[in-house]
Amino acid sequence: MRLKGRSIISVEARGKALLTGFDNALTLYTHSQLLGYWDFGETTPPDPPTGSPRVFLASATSSAALHIAPKVEIWKSREIESHPFLAKLGPDVLDPAVTADDFVAQLKHPRFARRKLAALLLQQEFAAGMGNYLRSEVLYAARLAPLRRVASLDKRETRALAKALLSVSRRSYRSKFKGPLPDSGKDYLAQTSRTFRFKVYEREGLPCPSCDGTVVLERLASRRLYWCPHCQR
C-alpha cells in the first residue's frame, strides 16, 4: 500500500536486478532470476489482476505485472545502495559509463587472480549482468580458453577480454527478437536479429567460424560452455 497513488520516476537495471523508483522516496527492488517475467498491458486489466503476480503496477491506461520473481522488496531510496546484492556487484556490462579500462582493473585485482575464466564470467561481483550464453561468446571473441586463470593472461589478452565483455554484451542487448517466444524458452536466443549471431553457443560439432577447428561442448562451473579448442588458447 505504500506505493498506491504514487508515480514512477525512474527504472534502472542493475546487473540482473531492477530498481523502480517512486516519487515518495521509495524504491521497488525486484530480481527475476531465471523464471520471473514482466507482462505489460496497454489497458488496465480487472482489479484484482489474474495470475497472482508478485508485483502489479497500474495506471489509468496501462499496467505491468511481475510473475514468479523470487525477490521483491521495498527500500528507502537513500538506502538502496546498501542492499546486500547491489553492494557486491561488479561493473555492469550494459552501463554506458563502464569502459574496458574498468574491466582491465577488475582483472588486475588480486582477488580474481587465481580464478578460472569459465567460473569468473558467471560471478556477478566481477561483471554484473553477465549470463551463461554470453560467457561462451565473450571467451570466443577474446580467443581465450575457458580454463585459463586470470593470472596467466598477458596485457594483450587482458585487454581483449575486457573489450569483449562490453562489445559482445552490448551487441546482444541491441538485438531484438521479433515474434512470440517459443515454448522451449531457450531457442529464441539463437534467432535474434542480424546484428547478433552466435559464433559458438549451441553450435556443438559445427565448424568454428574462424578456423579449421570444431566447436565443442563442456560443462564448466555447472553450466554449458561452447568453445573452439583450436583457436581459443
At residue 117 the predicted structure's pLDDT band, cuts being 50, 70 and 90, is very high
Task: Domain 100-195: give its CATH architecture.
Answer: Orthogonal Bundle (1.10)
Beta strands of the chain (E only): which ranges? Answer: 8-14, 17-22, 26-31, 37-41, 55-58, 63-67, 71-76, 216-220, 223-227
Sign of the dihedral defined by the CA atoms of residues 168, 170, 173, 175, in that order: negative
Is the pLDDT score of 182 beyond 50? no
Q: Cα–Cα distance between 27 and 82 in angstroms, integer?
A: 12
pLDDT of residue 212: 92
The answer to whether the predicted template modeling score (pTM) of the entire model surpasses 0.85 is no
User: Phi/psi of residue 77, each to 5°?
Assistant: -60, -35
Is the pLDDT score of 48 beyond 90? no
In single-letter form, the type of residue at position 170 comes to R
Kindly calculate the radius of gyration of the chain based on its CA atoms and give it in whole angstroms: 20
- Residues 147-160: what's their mean pLDDT? 98
pLDDT of residue 44: 63
Task: Provide the mean pLDDT of the chain.
Answer: 88
CATH class for the region spanning 8-87: alpha beta
Is the pLDDT score of 51 beyond 90? no
Which of these, 91, 102, 99, 78, lies nearest to 19 by C-alpha position?
78
For residue 69, give the C-alpha cell.
520473481
- Residues 142-153: what's their mean pLDDT? 98
- Going from N- to C-terminal start, the domains of the chain cover 8-87, 100-195
Is the pLDDT score of 192 beyond 50? no
